[in-house]
């Protein structure tokens, strides 16, 4: 039996694991919003990445992955680290300024930007008429959500926050394309580890210079939110998703990620009591439809092929 045949069918256990991981991803923005109530953006990013580096580093040690990058990889990994640091910075500030539900919908448009960027840098990802229609549909959904105004208690500067989150989604899409090419020749665990490790001194320095360590007294909720982002999202989700990639094709596995924004919206209701308006549902539906159109390619994995194991570090 060939490897291709062995992953052609999705077992019940693998499907349930993929659903569970996608639901957990939906809680990432919720945890960020909870943590940002206590830790300002740079400190929040620092503590999250510190936990993530520890989790991924432990996984690499268990798998006997050589974590020190060879000389030929260092420039490429440095570029990934810079892109990652800028993307996480914009995400933290954007989530801090707008509501969690709006952040979830706008951030999850990143596959659209991955396809748009991929058109210019990846020969096999050229846009077709159907994919252009998908991009237009998704962009319409993004604009519709972008122009909405969330609850003021959850969004101090909604339009600015929406813009910054969209910027972060664009950077995440660009990072997906970059990582897709990178991990063809670099061990994915090492790439994920170093993109977080390289961001640590930047976030620490920015926090020490520009922010107080805490906005309010430390509470268990904030600590748990940071651990969720670092250990569960960047650690557990990465590990399980990587294992699932050995059992399922990336194209099939990536389809489960459509669960994440739906999960995030309901978690926003649960934790923040945020009303989910018709605008959010309509925008999410348009973005999801657009993503489906741009990523459906018979017999092809799509632009999320190599980006899939790197997802938890969003």
pLDDT for 131-166, tens place per residue? Answer: 788 888 887 888 888 787 787 788 889 889 999 999
Task: Please return the burial class of 51, using the count of CB atoms within 10 Å of its CB with bins 0-12, 13-18 and 19+.
Answer: buried
Q: Name the band, by pLDDT with cuts 50, 70 and 90, for residue 184.
A: confident
Is a pLDDT exceeding 80 seen at residue 123? no
Residue with tokens 């990536």: 254
Q: Give the distance from CA 58 to its chain's centroid.
A: 21
Is 5 inside any structural domain?
no
pLDDT of residue 167: 95
Is 4 inside any structural domain?
no
Contact by Cβ (8 Å): 31, 92:
no
Is 25 inside any structural domain?
no
Q: Name the domain count of the chain.
A: 1
Q: How many CB atoms lie within 10 A of CB 299?
A: 5
Task: Please return the burial class of 1, using the count of CB atoms within 10 Å of its CB with bins 0-12, 13-18 and 19+.
Answer: exposed
Is 219 inside any structural domain?
yes
Contact by Cβ (8 Å): 114, 131:
no
Is 26 inside any structural domain?
no
Contacts of 134 (CB under 8 A, 6+ apart): 112, 115, 289, 290, 291, 292, 293, 294, 295
Contact by Cβ (8 Å): 71, 225:
no
Is a pLDDT exceeding 50 seen at residue 172? yes
The whole model's pTM is what?
0.83
**Domain range for 180:** 35-313
Residue 39 structure tokens? 């830790």
Per-residue pLDDT tens digits for 265-287: 899 989 998 888 888 888 888 88
Is 222 inside any structural domain?
yes
Task: Quote the CA–CA distance of 171 and 148 in Å, as a whole number.
Answer: 22
Per-residue pLDDT tens digits for 217-249: 999 999 999 999 999 998 888 788 777 766 765
Query: Higher-confidence residue: 57 or 277?
Result: 57
3-state helix, strand, coil in the chain (%, to 5): 75, 0, 25
Is 51 inside any structural domain?
yes
Is 279 inside any structural domain?
yes
Across the chain, mean pLDDT equals 83
pLDDT of residue 215: 94
Task: Quote the CA–CA distance of 138 and 167 in Å, as a whole number.
Answer: 15
């Amino acid at each position: 039996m060939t490897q291709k045949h062995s992953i052609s069918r999705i077992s019940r256990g693998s499907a349930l694991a993929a659903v569970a991981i996608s639901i957990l991803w939906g809680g990432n923005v919720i945890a960020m919003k909870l943590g940002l109530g206590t830790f300002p953006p740079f400190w929040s990013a620092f503590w999250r990445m510190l936990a993530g580096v520890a989790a991924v580093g432990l996984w690499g040690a268990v798998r006997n992955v050589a974590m020190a990058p060879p000389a030929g990889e260092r420039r490429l990994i440095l570029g990934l680290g810079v892109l990652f640091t800028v993307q996480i910075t914009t995400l933290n500030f954007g989530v801090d300024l707008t509501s969690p539900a709006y952040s979830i919908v706008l951030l999850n448009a990143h596959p659209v930007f991955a396809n748009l960027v991929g058109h210019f840098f990846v020969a096999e990802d050229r846009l077709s008429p159907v994919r252009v229609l998908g991009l237009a549909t998704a962009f319409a959904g993004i604009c519709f959500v972008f122009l909405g105004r969330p609850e003021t208690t959850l969004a101090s500067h909604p339009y600015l926050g929406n813009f910054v989150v969209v910027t972060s989604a664009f950077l995440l899409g660009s990072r997906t394309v970059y990582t897709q090419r990178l991990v063809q020749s670099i061990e994915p665990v090492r790439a994920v580890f170093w993109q977080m490790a390289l961001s640590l001194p930047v976030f620490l320095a920015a926090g020490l210079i520009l922010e107080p360590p805490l906005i309010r007294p430390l509470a268990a909720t904030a600590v748990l939110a940071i651990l969720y982002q670092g250990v569960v999202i960047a650690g557990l989700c990465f590990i399980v998703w990587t294992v699932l990639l050995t059992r399922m094709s990336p194209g099939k596995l990536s389809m489960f990620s459509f669960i994440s924004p739906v999960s995030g919206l309901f978690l926003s209701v649960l934790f923040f009591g945020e009303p989910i308006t018709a605008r959010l549902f309509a925008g999410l539906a348009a973005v999801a439809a657009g993503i489906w159109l741009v990523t459906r390619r018979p017999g092809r994995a799509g632009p999320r092929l190599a980006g899939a194991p790197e997802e938890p570090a969003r």
